[in-house]
């Protein structure tokens, strides 16, 4: 196992980090010693609170950076802002995502386009921008947050499932392109995780979801964050192009 400050000196960008899995990931990386840029598109007060906690509890540099990831220029600019704020970029976690669920026959073009833009296209733009400094320094760690929905599909989520499946394809292709430069690109595929998004579901929906999970419970944001942190640790440098399921056996 790595020492407690295994990421000392590393600079990380985590998108969608004001809440949920992104927040837990930012904390996990800071606990390991990394400086962290908190990317957010909403909830600026929450993002500021995460920054304050990282600085106070883990004594690392941290900054909150707002961006509308549906705008390709804003997504790329987020990388530049991270480099300027932290002095470089070593780790990227593409966690930001939205869901606009409906049966395919009822899904509007706008809801399809919005989910693909934020959940898939923005991750590509961030990866492309981040690879420039990573290739120059011959080091980088990228983790894309996919979903069990991108592995096995989910009724009523054709847009979300397509975007998350696309992230897996993006991950595997990039991994092959940049492995020789000591840049790894991996993905995690969470299942049902206790976040603001899932707790807003009705009790009946939650009970039905839990009944389908072999572990018999939802996962936690901290459990997903631990998997992400593992993939960027020094001893994980030979893992690339991998999709790590954090789903309680849902896709087994």
- pLDDT score, position 200: 64
Strand intervals (E) in the chain: 11-14, 35-40, 62-66, 91-94, 140-145, 183-190, 193-194, 219-220, 243-246
Tokens of 47: 């993002």
What confidence tens digit (pLDDT) does each residue in 189-235 have? 999 999 876 666 677 878 888 999 999 999 999 999 999 999 999 99
Domain parsing of the chain, residue ranges: 11-246
- Alpha-carbon gap, residue 30 to 8, rounded angstroms: 9
The active-site residue out of 160, 163, 248, 250 is 160
- pLDDT score, position 1: 47
- Give the fold, CATH level 3, of 11-246: Rossmann fold (3.40.50)
Q: Could you say which residues of the chain have pLDDT below 50?
A: 1
- pLDDT score, position 2: 59
Neighbouring C-beta atoms of residue 150, cutoff 10 Å: 25
**Is 238 marked active-site?**
no
142 in Cβ contact with 186 (< 8 Å):
yes
- Alpha-carbon gap, residue 95 to 21, rounded angstroms: 8
């Amino acid at each position: 196992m790595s020492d407690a400050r295994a990421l000392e000196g590393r600079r990380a960008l985590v998108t969608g980090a004001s809440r949920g899995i992104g927040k837990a990931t930012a904390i996990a990386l800071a606990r390991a010693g990394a400086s962290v840029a908190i990317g957010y598109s909403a909830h600026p007060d929450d993002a500021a609170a995460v920054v304050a906690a990282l600085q106070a509890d883990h004594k690392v540099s941290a900054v909150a950076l707002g961006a509308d990831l549906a705008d390709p220029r804003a997504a790329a600019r987020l990388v530049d802002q991270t480099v300027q704020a932290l002095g470089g970029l070593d780790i990227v976690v593409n966690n930001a995502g939205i869901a606009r669920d409906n049966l395919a026959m009822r899904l509007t073009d706008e809801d399809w386009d919005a989910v693909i833009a934020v959940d898939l296209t923005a991750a590509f733009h961030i990866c492309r921008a981040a690879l420039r400094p990573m290739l120059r320094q011959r080091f980088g760690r990228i983790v894309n947050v996919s979903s069990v929905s991108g592995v096995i599909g989910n009724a009523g989520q054709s847009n979300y499932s397509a975007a998350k499946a696309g992230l897996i394809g993006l991950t595997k292709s990039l991994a092959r392109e940049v492995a020789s430069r000591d840049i790894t690109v991996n993905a995690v595929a969470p299942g049902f995780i206790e976040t603001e998004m899932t707790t807003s579901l009705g009790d009946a929906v939650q009970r039905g979801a839990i009944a389908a999970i072999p572990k018999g419970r939802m996962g936690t944001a901290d459990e997903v964050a631990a998997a992400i942190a593992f993939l960027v640790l020094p001893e994980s440098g030979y893992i690339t192009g991998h999709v790590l399921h954090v789903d309680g056996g849902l896709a087994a």
